[in-house]
Amino acid sequence: MAMAYSSFVIKDPGGKTFADRVDLSDGENIPPDAVLGNSYCIPADIDLANRRIVLAESAPDIDLTHYAFLSQAHGEVTRRFLCIDFDELETLIPRLPVAEKIIFIANCARSGSTLLQKMLNEVDCVAALGEPNFILSCRLLREFSSAEADGVDVSALLSGCMKILCAQWPDKIVSVDLRASEMQMLAELQAIHPNTSTVMIYRDAISVGASWKHQLSKWDPALKPPTTLDDWLPDPETRAVIERWATVHDHASIPEAVGILSLWIHAITGYLDAEQQAQASFSIRYADLLASPERIMHEVLSRLDLDTRQVPATLGVMASDSQAGTVMARSDNQQNEVRLSDDEIGWIHEVLALHPLELSAGMELPGTVTLTGRLPEDQPSW
C-alpha cells in the first residue's frame, strides 16, 4: 500500500501524484546484489506497509536529469518497480560507494530552485535531480506515523536511499533539489553525508505568497490544490505558532495565505537549523539570480568548487520554462500580476511576529551572496 500523501505533493498535468499512478505493493522484491549491478535503478519511494524501499528502473537511454521532478520521470519512463526489504537494505548500505560530494539545493518554494537545478545540470561534472520522493517520505514516517516506535530506522532509510541514488552517477557530483516541505530533513542529510555543500535560494514571504496564489488560481479544482493547513505539512513548531495566531485573532479557519506562509516558515527555519552545522552553506536571492545571472552563477560555481568557466553554459536554460511538462508549468508568458491583499499581508506579519525566532517577511539569511561583491581580478567583469 502506498503512503498517504498530502495533496501538496507535485502532480502531473493529469492531476495524479506518483503514489496515485502506481501501487507500490506490486513491486518485485529483489536481492540487494541486484542493485549493485543495475545502473538505471533509483529510489522512488518507501512502502511502509511491506517494510521495503521501492526502486524505479528506467531504460539505459533515459536521462533522468532532464526532468524537473523525479516523480514525473517515475510516472513516465519507469519500466518496472523493484523492492528491497528494510532489513536487507542494512546489509547493502556498507557495500555502496560513498559519494565524494553531494550538493543540496535548499529553497522556500516558488523561489527558483528548479531553475537553479537546471542551471547546475549544465555543468559537466554535475547530475542535478529534482525532488526525490523518498526524502519527503522519511519526514512523513518520522512526524506522522509510528514507524520509529515500531522499529523502523528512518535515518538508515534516508542514508541508504541517498547512497543508492548517488551510486547511479559514480562519475558525477549529484545535486539534489529538495522540496520546501523537506527542509526540516536538511540538517540530518548533511550529518549523514558530511561531504556536502548546500545552496539556499529564497525570496521574501510576501512574494512567495503571491506566487503561490497565482499558481493555485490556475489549477483545475480536479487537481485538488492545497486548501487546508494540513496540506502544507507544517512542522509542529510552525503549526503551534499558526494555531496560536488563529486563536489570538479569532480565525475559525486558516486562510490560504497563512497556509502558504507555514511552508515558507518551515523552509526558512529548517535552513537556519542546518546552516548552523553546515561546513559549506550559503544563500542566494531568486531576485538577484534573475537580475544578474552571470555574476550570481559565477559566485555559486566558485563556492561549490565547480569550474567557473562553465558559467555561460548554465545561462542558456533561463530562456525556457524549467518546470515545463508539470502542473507547475507556466501557462503563458505574462508576469505574475496576482498580489496579496492588505489583509493577507497583515496576517503574514502577525504570524511572523509570534514566532520565537523573530522572523520577518523580508529577512536576509546568513551567508547571502550580494551583488556588490567584487570578482577576482582574472575574471571578466559582467
Domains of the chain by residue range: 97-125+172-321+333-375
**Strand 102-107 with 173-177, pairing:** parallel
Which residues, 6 or more positions from 137, have their beta carbon under 8 angstroms from its beta carbon?
Answer: 3, 45, 46
Phi, psi (5° rounding) for residue 253?
Answer: -135, 165
pLDDT of residue 192: 86
Element (H, E) at 187: helix 186-192
Task: Report pLDDT for 372.
Answer: 64
**Among residues 2, 11, 1, which one has the least CA distance to residue 224?**
11
**Segments of the chain scoring below 70 in pLDDT:** 1-26, 36-39, 223, 278-279, 331-336, 372-382
Confidence (pLDDT) at 349: 97
Question: What residues pair up with 284 in beta bridges, in sequence order?
Answer: 201
Cβ neighbour number for residue 287 with a 10 Å cutoff: 15
The pLDDT, as a whole number, for residue 149 is: 79
Going by DSSP bridges, is the β-strand pair 126-130/173-177 parallel, antiparallel, or unpaired? parallel
CA distances from 366 to 5, 105, 220, 353, 363 (A): 32, 15, 38, 20, 10
Percent composition of the chain: helix, strand, coil (DSSP 3-state, to 5): 45, 15, 40
Predicted pLDDT at 280: 75
CA 116 – CA 11 distance, rounded (Å): 21
| Cα separation, 280 vs 1, whole angstroms | 39
pTM, full prediction: 0.89
CATH 3.30.70.380 fits 97-125+172-321+333-375, yes or no: no
